[in-house]
């Protein structure tokens, strides 16, 4: 009788390994995440790639200069990466299907190849002709860009070691295959081992590697959660694929800040940078409409102005409806309770709809005061001056708390032509003198209501 092949159970979320099936993962405490996969033979890849150094060195003997970074040709993407691509870095790019991940990376390859860098674009999903058809929309490409349609990592390793490119793109990690792993491509063990394989290849040869990762319906990268822990940088491509703009956000970055975002606009020729996102987000604002307020938010080091829209209407049912698009639903309910308690404006019999225009998703506390003023403006049907900008955090006692980087917020509002700024009184005291804009400090939401 043939000997049965050994199998092992993996957690899809964190990659925890077990010899038997478990209902709850001991690692991440998730329920029903264990899957069964065949056990592959283990090989010592570290010795083969020469990653084991004979002697350790002191930290002062290691040199690392910012000039070593490779520019992508997109200022927005370079900002999110912390100034460019670090040699030997492993960068994971995730996003919904059709959002533009492959388009962005192909444009990055074009920019870097035109700057004299040797690029290798490896696709496991498209043929070479399909990639060429997509590239024809973007214009002319340099001969420094090479294409390869392959899924076997052993073949990919030999090609990389032979050609020695400056940058490698893998599209996508869910299609890559290790021959010594018995499971199918895209499985937990294949994704984990393939990423580990590419990580050793990148570090051992100081070649930066971009990895495209598919996402699940929950919006996280498909595969084990350990995938995000192994890479150096995790970028998420956000936005509605039917809308004109896209946002790339860094959620993990060992070489830079994780609060930066880059804004792009989708066109027939590919993605274009949006150098002034505030002006882009405020384009098409309604005139003389109640419930519309402009707020200034900080995304990393960049101030961005967005329009907050609120609609209050009398409910026809026993329980009023609450809807929030682009912000936290529970936060809207909390602020409405503060309005009723501290100002006496009764909204318990009214439906409330809140929308962040442009499709932005924001959870910054500085949005609170703008939400409060938008809700009151719609309830009283009074129009707020369109040249007024609002920001500040609101507490349960109705007080308006200070927010960070108030100077940058006011300067951005002044640059875009706003004449009035309503902000926390505490932040106004610490504000440097700024001319050309009327700054009003408020201590609580009662004072803000009197301004409407």
Positions at the binding site: 95-102
Q: How far is it, in rounded angstroms, from Cα 36 to Cα 17? A: 10
Q: From start to end of 21-174, where are the E strands?
A: 34-38, 90-95, 119-123, 145-149, 167-171
Q: Angle formed by the axes of helices 153-163 and 188-205, to 10°?
A: 10
The token pair at 248 is: 């790339």
Q: How far is it, in rounded angstroms, from Cα 13 to Cα 226? A: 8
Q: How far is it, in rounded angstroms, from Cα 154 to Cα 276? A: 44
Q: Which of 50, 88, 87 is nearest to 70 (CA)?
A: 87
Q: How far is it, in rounded angstroms, from Cα 59 to Cα 397? A: 51
Q: How far is it, in rounded angstroms, from Cα 336 to Cα 331? A: 9
Q: How far is it, in rounded angstroms, from Cα 247 to Cα 261? A: 7
Q: Which of 125, 166, 124 is nearest to 146 (CA)?
A: 166
Q: How far apart are the first and last CA of the chain?
A: 84
Let me know: does 25 contact 17? Beta carbons within 8 Å: no
Q: Which of 164, 191, 179, 190 is nearest to 92 (CA)?
A: 191
The token pair at 447 is: 């004072």
Let me know: does 7 contact 39? Beta carbons within 8 Å: yes
Q: How far is it, in rounded angstroms, from Cα 370 to Cα 18? A: 50
C-alpha distances in Å from residue 363, one per residue of 137, 196, 367, 393: 37, 34, 8, 11
Q: Which of 145, 147, 142, 140 is nearest to 118 (CA)?
A: 145
Binding residues for ATP: 95-102
CA angle 136, 137, 139 (to 5 degrees): 70
Q: Which of 87, 265, 100 is nearest to 168 (CA)?
A: 87
What residue spans of 45-152 are helical by DSSP H?
A: 45-48, 75-81, 101-114, 128-136
Q: How far is it, in rounded angstroms, from Cα 320 to Cα 337? A: 13
């Amino acid at each position: 009788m043939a000997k049965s092949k050994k199998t092992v159970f993996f957690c899809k979320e964190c990659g925890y390994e077990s010899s038997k099936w478990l209902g709850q993962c001991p690692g991440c405490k998730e329920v029903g995440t264990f899957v069964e996969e065949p056990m592959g033979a283990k090989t010592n890849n570290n010795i083969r790639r020469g990653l084991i150094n004979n002697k350790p060195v002191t930290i002062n003997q290691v040199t690392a200069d910012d000039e070593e970074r490779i520019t992508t040709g997109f200022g927005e993407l370079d900002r999110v990466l912390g100034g460019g691509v670090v040699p030997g870095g492993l960068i994971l790019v995730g996003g919904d299907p059709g959002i533009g991940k492959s388009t962005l990376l192909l444009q990055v390859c074009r920019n870097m190849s035109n700057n004299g860098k040797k690029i290798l674009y490896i696709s496991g999903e498209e043929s070479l002709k399909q990639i060429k058809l997509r590239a024809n929309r973007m214009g002319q490409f340099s001969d420094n860009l090479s294409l390869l349609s392959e899924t076997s990592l052993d073949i990919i390793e030999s090609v990389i070691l032979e050609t020695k490119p400056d940058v490698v793109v893998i599209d996508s990690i869910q299609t890559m295959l290790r021959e010594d792993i018995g499971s199918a491509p895209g499985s937990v063990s294949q994704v984990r081992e393939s990423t580990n394989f590419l990580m050793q290849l990148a570090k051992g040869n100081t070649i930066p590697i971009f990895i495209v990762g598919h996402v699940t319906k929950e919006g996280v990268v498909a595969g084990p959660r350990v995938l995000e822990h192994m890479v150096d940088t995790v970028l998420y491509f956000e936005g509605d694929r039917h809308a004109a703009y896209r946002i790339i956000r860094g959620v993990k970055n060992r070489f830079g800040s994780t609060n930066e975002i880059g804004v792009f606009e989708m066109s027939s020729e590919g993605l274009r940078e949006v150098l002034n996102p505030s002006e882009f987000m405020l384009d098409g604002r309604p005139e003389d409409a109640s419930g519309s307020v402009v707020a200034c938010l900080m995304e990393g080091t960049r101030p961005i102005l967005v329009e907050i829209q609120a609609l209050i209407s009398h409910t026809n049912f026993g329980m009023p409806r609450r809807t929030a698009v682009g912000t936290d639903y529970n936060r809207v309910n909390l602020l409405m309770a503060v309005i009723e308690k501290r100002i006496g404006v009764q909204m318990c019999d009214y439906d409330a709809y809140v929308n962040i225009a442009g499709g932005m998703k924001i959870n910054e506390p500085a949005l609170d005061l703008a939400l409060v003023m938008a809700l009151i403006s719609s309830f009283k049907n009074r129009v707020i001056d369109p040249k007024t900008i609002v920001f500040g955090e609101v507490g349960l006692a109705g007080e308006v708390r200070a927010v960070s980087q108030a100077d940058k917020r006011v300067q951005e509002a002044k640059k875009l032509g706003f004449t009035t700024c309503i902000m926390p009184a505490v932040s106004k005291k610490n504000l440097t003198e700024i001319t050309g804009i009327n700054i009003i400090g408020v201590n609580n939401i009662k004072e803000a209501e009197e301004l409407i």
